[in-house]
Structure 1
Amino acid sequence: MQTKKENIREDILRAAQKEFLLHGYEAASMRVIAKKANTTLGNIYHYFPNKEAILSDILKEPLEKLSKLVEGHLALEVNVYTMEEMLDALRGMDDLSNYEEFQYVLDERLLILFDLRTTRYVEEREHFIKKFKCHMAWHLGLEDSDSPYIDILTSTFISCIRHVLLEHKDSEDAQKEFIKVFKMLCTGLAVNGEKL
């Protein structure tokens, strides 16, 4: 009986994730989620007290991985790399299997996080974005992480992730495309950073 209950719970989460991706969290209907999960609205509330509890369950793993990526990558700020070292590292980046942390950004559940307008997760998303902006400022040798240039780079990076996740459903294709856009973005930063 426990297996059946867990299957229903997983069906609800899968249906909710699809609905959140399609219509956004705020516009997603609990009735539609119930219908797509082949269960009743009342049964959903047996497993989850509200829609935000479903969102919490969906975002738990990607947020943990994102936190691991941010903390691990930001720890590297103690090492200062020359532009040539960065460019060499980018030239050698052909496969994300050597860069486990970058695979964390290829989780389509992050699209839900990017699009949230309400809930406590907006604040958490902004926390990650602020850390990313500080890191970009560090890479570019800028003291002001609130620079409009950093805002543009941050928006571009998020747009690149969004593009990869929406346009490349096959994980191998998504990884190749991510490497391509990541190299383009970083190579431009490296070249422009040398001019600063």
Structure 2
Amino acid sequence: MQYLKDEVRDKIRKEAIKEFRTVGYKGASIRTIASNSNTSVGNLYKYFDSKEALYEDIIGSVYNRLMNYINQFHEVELNDKACNVFYKLTEEVTGIFKESSLEIAILLNKSQGSKYENCKNTFIDFVTKIVTDIMCYHLSTQGKVLQDNFLIYLLANNLVESISIIVDQKNDGEEVRSLILSIIDILYKDIEKKLNV
């Protein structure tokens, strides 16, 4: 029985990342990945059953880590201390962007044809819901009501698209993290005034 070698697997993953980054999931070729990995297509399939399995190996863990933190946001009880918890979770999420900016660039910009092709909408919906919930709670403590969350939805779209551009254009993890935090500050600082409540 032939044992799978970590070096070969790592080389396949490295070349697959390049291929997915360049042409996306839909355009990626197993033949090209195998050739660039100095292995045969048959040997590549000993490590990964399909292009989907290879993509999942690269993107799945990062996506799952992000979703784990998203689920933690949903579990936070809204009260006066919730903002501190949200800031801490935001730091954790931006830490993932710092560590895995290349994989996230692929996830957000190159997932067409994969099971992750609608991930941007998932993230936009999440940001919209969390910010809406926070604003509704905050306004309720002042006897006010949020009439409409359309502006919050627009801001969420801008945030996710900005992050997509940042991870696509910038390679340094710390710079990615810093830029994302700056965009969050620009979009959401004094949001109550922006909402005209």
- Counterpart of 2:169? 167
TM-score by length of 2: 0.76
- Counterpart of 1:100? 92
The alpha-carbon distance between structure 1 residues 160 and 61, as it changes in their structure 2 partners (threshold 3 A), is same
Q: For 2:125 and 2:148, how far apart are their aligned partners in 1?
A: 12
Q: For 2:21 and 2:147, how far apart are their aligned partners in 1?
A: 36
Structure 2 unaligned spans of 5+:
137-145
Q: For 2:24 and 2:60, how far apart are their aligned partners in 1?
A: 17
AA of the residue aligned to 1:99: E
- Counterpart of 1:69? 69
The alpha-carbon distance between structure 1 residues 37 and 135, as it changes in their structure 2 partners (threshold 3 A), is same
Per-residue deviation, residues 83-136 of structure 1 (Å, max 9, x unmatched): xx78xx9xxx8xx9x922321234321222223232333366644443332113
Q: Secondary structure at the match of 2:176?
A: helix
Q: Secondary structure at the match of 1:15?
A: helix
- Counterpart of 2:116? 121
Q: Is 1:10 matched with 2:5?
A: no
Q: For 2:182 and 2:120, how far apart are their aligned partners in 1?
A: 25
The alpha-carbon distance between structure 1 residues 151 and 45, as it changes in their structure 2 partners (threshold 3 A), is same
% same residue: 24
- Counterpart of 1:181? 183
TM-score by length of 1: 0.76
Per-residue deviation, residues 110-163 of structure 1 (Å, max 9, x unmatched): 222223232333366644443332113223435766x4x344222211122123
Give the alignment partner of residue 106 of structure 2, picking from 112, 134, 147: 112
- Counterpart of 1:138? 133
Asked if the contact 1:137–1:150 (Cα under 8 Å) also holds between the matched residues in 2, the reply is: yes
Q: For 2:126 and 2:173, how far apart are their aligned partners in 1?
A: 27
Structure 1 unaligned spans of 5+:
none
Q: Secondary structure at the match of 1:99?
A: helix
Q: Displacement, 1:77? A: 4.9
